[in-house]
Structure 1
Amino acid sequence: MVCNLIRYLYAPFLLVGINGAGIALVGAGVSRWWLLGLLVAAIATSFAAEHHLPYRPEWNSSAGDRGRDNAHAVVNEALILGSVTAIPVLAAFVTVGDMWPHAWPFVVQVIVALVVADAGITFVHFASHRVGVLWRFHAVHHSVTRFYGFNGLMKHPLHQTIELTAGVAPLLAVGLPVDVAAVLALAVAVQLLLQHSNADYRVGPLRRVLSLNEGHRFHHLKWAGVGDVNFGLFTLVWDRMLGTYFFDPVRRFTSDDLGMADKPHYPSRYLAQLAEPFRAGGACTAATTDKKPAIGKDQAGGEAAA
């Protein structure tokens, strides 16, 4: 009973419940600090779901990486929150004109922000697998060998800053309100928890549209070359346009499938990971001996990805 509730209600609870509560509270004029409470609730729910219904039980156990992952989470979440706080100052330099649709319902404004941010962050993510200097920083995220909620915030802070800038700068240029940005920040954190979750949840046909853990595991496979798949943050719409969408319903994953084959000894300590992109010879590619499947077909039913 509990397992079925988690399997089918965990994702809706975070996507609709937590995000919806954030939209309702901020839209009603309640202090934005309540969003931190919702974030804590989302994190607690994520770990509870992973404990009771794990995709792989061993991924719930620390491999000596819990302290590092906590450090990444605290630093990168602080960067997200700090960027929201700094929006009034940033807007003075970035805003071209106040063209934001303030008169639209608050929920619609948030959806507009999500769509724009999804595009910017996805395309930077795509570029990060093809541009050497970006990959040096993004490689930190691909060094993981177990898949669980906090992996989403395991990023080099400089790379996260680049991604956030690409997602938020176009919004700031047209007058993004702080309240909308605050809810967007919550939605990003919730999405990263779900996208990298070790919970064995299901979303049915929505797995072909939303960028959640079933599809994102393929992005972390050690495929040959740097042309990975499923780059989207919130959706897989841009992957379908780029021809990088892929899903195989029968594929199961282990720790041996994750990471970077050409960097099996990538630094595992937090400070060492921060320094690695600046180290001589620190650049690496996502190369491996694992054969990459043809892109463009959903093997669940032969659906064209484009």
Structure 2
Amino acid sequence: MSDVLRQWQALTASLPVKALGLAAWLLAMALVFGLLERRFPIRPQRFLRQRLAQDVGYYFLGGLVPPFLTVAATAALVWFASGLVPASFYAWVASLPFAVRVGAMVLLGDVAFYWAHRWSHENEWLWRMHAVHHSPTELDWLVNTRAHPLDLVFARAVSAVPIVVLGIRQGNDGLDAAVAVYLALTTLWAFFVHTNVRWHLGWLEQVVVTPAFHHWHHANLPGTLSRNYASLFPWIDRVFGTYHLPARQFPTTYGADRELPQTLGAQLASPFRKPPS
């Protein structure tokens, strides 16, 4: 608990700097992704679109609040794993080559994310949180930020389970730096796959998740909301039977299966209110 409190204190002290960093990233991404969307749009969309300000609010909320809860969730996982896994196993994992541990972290993290994402669609209460992300009827790069903070914490905590339980981050040979680079790249990629960009990437679409792949996950069409859960590797969906990518097509309709409240505060409260029957 004392370690969690120290991390919370550090997070609190760094909030002003973190907010400035988020603002700088927001401007940089708006420039890059905004130009791409203007040059290669799937369909024309106004820059000052509906709920733009709300999505900016979600951007800062998601960047500043979830880390406090994720720290506690990760600490609980470490405590649980320490009583479950023998120290000799952790020593063996730490002795593995650096590249093997990084590869295992990326692969197992995405498999775990797949299941967190899938459960967020299949469990009613988790879906109440995740539906916030699926509520937009237009898709662009900033929609990536429209997510309930508890939804983010759940996905990150589940994604961390194999990494923590198996002790993949054991050792002090630069793996934490690799984790930081991995998180930065996957975060940027998550923004990219939401872009309103009509790009078909050929063979690459069989290797990594692309805008076309993820747009079909957001489609409000029969059966599409239960498809394409992976964040990096589309073949994970193939393995579990949820892959869906029509050749050279993008969806015509986006959105969730229910209406959500209009205001940000009401959307944050919506998972705790039973939807009307």
Using the size of structure 2 for normalisation, the TM-score is 0.75
Question: 1:76 & 1:163 partners in 2: Cα distance?
Answer: 13
**How far is the alpha carbon of 1:130 from its aligned partner?**
1.4
Moved more, 187-196 or 231-240: 187-196
Read off the aligned partner of 2:261 and give its amino acid letter: P
More helix, by proportion: 2
Which residue, 216, 219, 238 being the options, matches 1:240?
Answer: 238
Question: 2:127 & 2:237 partners in 1: Cα distance?
Answer: 19
> Which residue of 1 is the match for residue 159 of structure 2?
167
**How far is the alpha carbon of 1:61 from its aligned partner?**
2.9
**How far is the alpha carbon of 1:165 from its aligned partner?**
0.5
> Which residue of 1 is the match for residue 58 of structure 2?
72
- Structure 1 residues 82, 43: closer, same or farther in 2, change over 3 A? farther
Question: Contact 1:81–1:185 (CA<8 Å) still a contact in 2?
Answer: no
Question: Contact 2:216–2:224 (CA<8 Å) still a contact in 1?
Answer: no
Question: 1:44 & 1:65 partners in 2: Cα distance?
Answer: 19
Which residue, 53, 58, 64 being the options, matches 2:40?
Answer: 53
- Structure 1 residues 138, 117: closer, same or farther in 2, change over 3 A? same
What stretches of structure 2 of length at least 5 have no aligned partner? 1-17, 170-174
What stretches of structure 1 of length at least 5 have no aligned partner? 1-32, 284-306
Question: Contact 2:212–2:249 (CA<8 Å) still a contact in 1?
Answer: no
Deviation by residue 1:194-250 (Cα, 9 ceiling, x = unmatched): 111112234211112311111111111123368621111111121101111111125
Question: 1:104 & 1:84 partners in 2: Cα distance?
Answer: 28
**How far is the alpha carbon of 1:117 from its aligned partner?**
1.3
Question: 2:113 & 2:268 partners in 1: Cα distance?
Answer: 21
Which residue, 123, 136, 141 being the options, matches 1:149?
Answer: 141
Question: 2:249 & 2:262 partners in 1: Cα distance?
Answer: 27
> Which residue of 2 is the match for residue 5 of structure 1?
none
Question: 2:197 & 2:47 partners in 1: Cα distance?
Answer: 13
What number of residue pairs does the alignment pair up?
A: 243
Which residue, 104, 107, 115 being the options, matches 2:107?
Answer: 115
Say yes or no: does 1:219 pair with 2:205: no
Deviation by residue 1:236-275 (Cα, 9 ceiling, x = unmatched): 1211011111111253434xx1113x42x42232111101
- Structure 1 residues 195, 252: closer, same or farther in 2, change over 3 A? closer
Question: Contact 2:217–2:224 (CA<8 Å) still a contact in 1?
Answer: no
Question: Contact 1:76–1:157 (CA<8 Å) still a contact in 2?
Answer: yes
Structure 2 matches for 1:121-270, cutoff 5 A?
121-173=113-165, 174-176=167-169, 177-224=175-222, 228-254=226-252, 257-260=253-256, 262-263=257-258, 265-270=259-264
Percent identity, please: 23
Deviation by residue 1:77-106 (Cα, 9 ceiling, x = unmatched): 33566578789966753553545447634x
